[in-house]
Amino acid sequence: MKVIDKRKDFKYSKRCLPRELQIVQKIDHNNIVRVYEIIEKEPFVCLVQEYAEKGDLLKRIRQTGRVIEPESRIFFRQILEALMYLKSIEVVHRDLKCENVLLDTCLNVKLADFGFARFMKPGDRSKTFCGSRAYLSPEIIRGRPYDGFLADIWSGGIVLYVMITGCMPYNDRNVRKMLEKQLQHRISFPRSILLSNEVKQLIFEILHPIPTKRPSLSEIVHSKWLINTEYRMRVAKPRSDSSSSSESNKPLKPESLPVNSPRT
């Protein structure tokens, strides 16, 4: 259950909350957290929603060090399916990050938290600065009017990078330097991790500083890295000893994710 105290953030309660409630009631997709009931009792709003037993994606990354590529393909394919559905109903998420990618008991993706979401028609632009800094596209950081669908694709690319490496591609403690690297299209990967050229190329293409040069959701699905990954929902099966933590990765500290700092 998600409980919102409207007294804590008047601006959000006035502007974003009504929109969030409208959107979550409209959504119906296997890879998006379902809201079963909305209970309003001033000053609280309670969303009775689907329970994600396995927590969020960031928790899983912290437990295993990173998510190996075969598992990442399944997770990312499901994230893309959720984003394609949202685009079909003209909704942008605007806060896509590992903490908002939940996992159910069968390790299916459940996209959550539509607090910054809004309806947006193709071609429209938004001026609202919102989202989580480390996942923001350069056009949002620069305060430019932006296409929310293309900004969501950028954030998805950051999620993919964090999944496969266990660290952040940019250091958001210094926004100026982070933006500089983004605009120069500089992306590096930890040398200690063996990654396929296909996934590195895909991330490079998604994290393009020019929004219109980013691949579409359909192009990502048909990329070399994902072309053979069929979309499916996992179902319950007998527990086995195998897990995505089979690689000898050092677990991350629970406080934060490291930033990839390549040698210069």
b/e code 244-264 from CB counts within 10 Å (16+ = b):
bbeeebeebeeeebeebeeee
Residue 165, Ramachandran bin (φ over 0: left; ψ between -120 and 50: alpha; else beta): alpha
Say how far apart CA 225 and CA 20 lie, in whole Å.
Answer: 34
Q: Collapse the DSSP code of 45 into the 3-class scheme (helix H, G, I; strand E, B; otherwise coil) and give the result.
A: strand
Q: Domain coordinates of the chain in residue numbers?
A: 2-49, 57-221
Instruction: Report whether pLDDT(253) > 70.
Output: no
Rounded to 5 degrees, φ, ψ at 140 are -70, -45
- Partners of 101 in beta bridges: 111
Active site (annotated) includes residue 95: yes
Mean pLDDT, residues 168-194: 95
Q: What is the pLDDT, as a whole number, of residue 14?
A: 84
b/e code 45-62 from CB counts within 10 Å (16+ = b):
bebebeebebebbbebbb
Instruction: Report whether pLDDT(28) > 70.
Output: yes
1 versus 139: the higher-pLDDT residue is 139
CATH tag, 57-221: 1.10.510.10
Q: Collapse the DSSP code of 37 into the 3-class scheme (helix H, G, I; strand E, B; otherwise coil) and give the result.
A: strand
Mean pLDDT, residues 44-53: 94
Smallest CA-to-CA distance from 109 within 234, 236, 237, 254 is with 234
Q: What is the pLDDT, as a whole number, of residue 252?
A: 41
Residue 259 — very low, low, confident or very high, per pLDDT cuts 50/70/90? low
Chain-wide mean pLDDT for the chain? Answer: 91
Angle between helices 148-165 and 197-206 (to 10 degrees): 150
Fold of 2-49: Phosphorylase Kinase; domain 1 (3.30.200)
Q: What is the pLDDT, as a whole number, of residue 248?
A: 36
Instruction: Report whether pLDDT(246) > 90.
Output: no
Residue 12 — very low, low, confident or very high, per pLDDT cuts 50/70/90? confident
Say how far apart CA 208 and CA 198 lie, in whole Å.
Answer: 16
Q: What is the pLDDT, as a whole number, of residue 208?
A: 99
DSSP 36: E
155 versus 15: the higher-pLDDT residue is 155
Q: Is 38 exposed, middle or buried (0-12, 13-18, 19+ CB in 10 A)?
A: middle
Q: 56, 95, 104, 147: which is the annotated catalytic residue?
A: 95
Give the predicted TM-score (pTM) of the model.
Answer: 0.88
What are the tens digits of pLDDT across the range 102-157? 999 999 999 999 999 999 998 999 999 999 999 999 999 999 999 999 999 999 99
247 versus 122: the higher-pLDDT residue is 122
CA distances from 136 to 58, 59, 148, 209, 218 (A): 17, 21, 11, 11, 22
Q: What is the pLDDT, as a whole number, of residue 256?
A: 53
Q: What is the pLDDT, as a whole number, of residue 176?
A: 94
